Amino acid sequence: MSAHCQLTGARPGFGNTVSHSHRRTSRRFDPNIQRKRYWLPSEGRYVRLTLSARAIKAIDAMGVESAVALIRARGGKV
């Protein structure tokens, strides 16, 4: 599973871990990615989406139909 949200486009951020001695080593800030299955009534089937936790909350507010329309408008495959 890639660390990429289909709705918001959230991807990992990169930075440094700074130790007590101030040595820097590279690290990765991953978004909270979940695979979630939604029922899509217009097509009569389930769709499985790779979403961040923030995108799951956004779908709860806006509805799965409009979220899938946004993903498809951006060129994503559902």
Q: Residues for the chain: how many in total?
A: 78
Classify residue 20 as left (phi > 0), alpha (psi -120 to 50) or beta.
alpha
Q: pLDDT tens for residues 30-76?
A: 999 999 999 999 999 999 999 999 999 999 999 999 999 999 999 99
Contact 53, 59 (CB under 8 A): no
pLDDT of the residue at 1? 52
pLDDT of the residue at 2? 78
Report the C-alpha gap between 47 and 24 in whole angstroms. Answer: 42
Report the C-alpha gap between 21 and 42 in whole angstroms. Answer: 58
